[in-house]
Amino acid sequence: MKGIEDLIELVEWVRRLENNVEDAVHSSSEDTVVSRDFEIFFNRFLYFMLQFDLKEYPVNLFHWLKLLKKPLKDWWPAAANLLDEEGISSDFIILDDEIGLSEEAEELLREYKSYQEASAKVVRDVLIHCRDVSLEKGLDMQWSYTKFRLFLIKNPVTNIEAMELYCLENDFDHFLTSSLENCYEDIPPSSAFKCQSCGWTLHEKTKNVFVCIKQQCLRSYDVSSLNHYEITEAEQLRVKESIQFSTVIPGQRELELKRKLVKSGAAIELYPDLERLGDLRVRRAGEKAGSEELLIDVKDYRNAKQLAKKLVTDHAAGLVKTPVIAVPDDKANSRYLKFVNKRLVEMGINSCKVYSFKQVVRMFKELSSDGAQLFEVKENIHVY
């Protein structure tokens, strides 16, 4: 197995045929367009799979469908091992009986894309634009940049009027205004509901079963629970999928931490120094610039291995910006934190440490109550 790319390619093939796979198989005795397309695909697939050492090699279409519904480790162990290295369960299945392409397979596709992109190009271009303008013209672009990101995070769905008004109110230049428009697309007519967790449109996977693109949001919704989450007439646009993944969902976690810290008496600046200093700059409320501060990056990785890998790579590239890496509480159990921090120590990295949101808030409270210096003391705080 060359790499995870092979598995991704297979999953992409299945996705392309998602709604047709079973139909195509069942109609394959008849000579239909679907079945002919499917045959071409399937022959390519068989050829593709020849390069791997499989426990079970598909002998016909029905057998192949059965394999896709089994845990990967039972028929394609090399791929399962590779996923395991990435921290993904070896019980991974590709095709789900009820919903077609399984949610873990969908998420693998998306996460893989977002690893590749790290952030959507349009948002990255806005960051570069803001840095350029502030360097060349000496303008303070911090406000505009933060406002730009906040609109996306708070408005996974919106309409053109609201967007234009926001651009005017915040005095966005032409580049920011057109970039913000570029982040959105029309909501497809088939979308009727929004996700209760991340706010993006749900798609109907099978009749009356709606799912969010983010597996973690909830496995699925049924219509009865969705009454309050209908898409209204005023909502015509949604952020593009890549932006939902790379900016909106992580941004919602950044704002969650911000809210928690503000409640404990902190003053927060988001994306300080145009992100050069991380996601959040934390000071005691009422204190001015130049006083002690805590710099935090928020990382929302589903599993500890992926986060450890990311931090080690970032560290080698000089990209770790802050000493404190905060992980949302629903992921950061003690095993998760222990694993990442141990790996960092093993790799000789002592310039950053991973904490749960709860620990970060506690750290801020302790430090601000005894008047200690935030910046110096936090280096010595021992967590796990």
Name the site residues for Zn ion (rule: CB under 5 A).
195, 197-198, 212, 214, 217
Write the DSSP assignment of 16-28 as a string of letters. HTTTTHHHHHHTT
Give the shortest CB-215-to-Zn ion separation in angstroms.
9
Where does residue 273 fall: left (phi above 0), alpha (psi -120 to 50 degrees), or beta otherwise?
left
Could you tell me if 135 and 182 are in contact, meaning their C-beta atoms sit under 8 angstroms apart? no
Nearest distance from residue 331's CB to Zn ion, in Å? 16
Strands 184-186 and 237-239: antiparallel
Residue 251 CB, shortest distance to Zn ion, in Å, is: 13
Task: Name the minimum Å distance from CB 197 to Zn ion.
Answer: 5
Pairwise CA distance, residues 266 & 259, whole Å: 9
Q: Smaller CB distance to Zn ion: residue 157 or 163? A: 157
Nearer to Zn ion, 196 or 264 (CB): 196
Complex with Zn ion: residue 216 or 306, whichever CB lies closer: 216
CB of 11 to Zn ion, least distance (A): 20
Q: How far is the CB of 196 from Zn ion (least distance, A)?
A: 8
Angle at 307 between CA 71 and CA 252, to 5 degrees: 100
Nearer to Zn ion, 177 or 220 (CB): 220
CB of 260 to Zn ion, least distance (A): 21
By C-beta, is 30 or 222 nearer to Zn ion? 222
The residue among 203 and 260 lying less far from Zn ion, judged by its C-beta, is 203
> Nearest approach, Cβ of 200 to Zn ion (angstroms)?
6
Question: Long-range contacts for 267-275 (Cβ within 8 Å, ≥24 apart)?
Answer: 270/146, 270/149, 270/150, 271/142, 271/145, 271/146, 271/149, 272/142, 273/142, 274/127, 274/130, 274/131, 274/134, 274/141, 274/142, 274/145, 275/127, 275/145, 275/321
For Zn ion, the closer CB: 197 or 350: 197
Alpha-carbon distance values, 330 to 89, 217, 258 (Å): 18, 12, 16
Closer to Zn ion by CB, 122 or 195: give it: 195
Candidates 360, 349, 364; CA nearest to 383 is: 360
Q: How many CA atoms lie within 13 A of 268 on its CB side?
A: 23
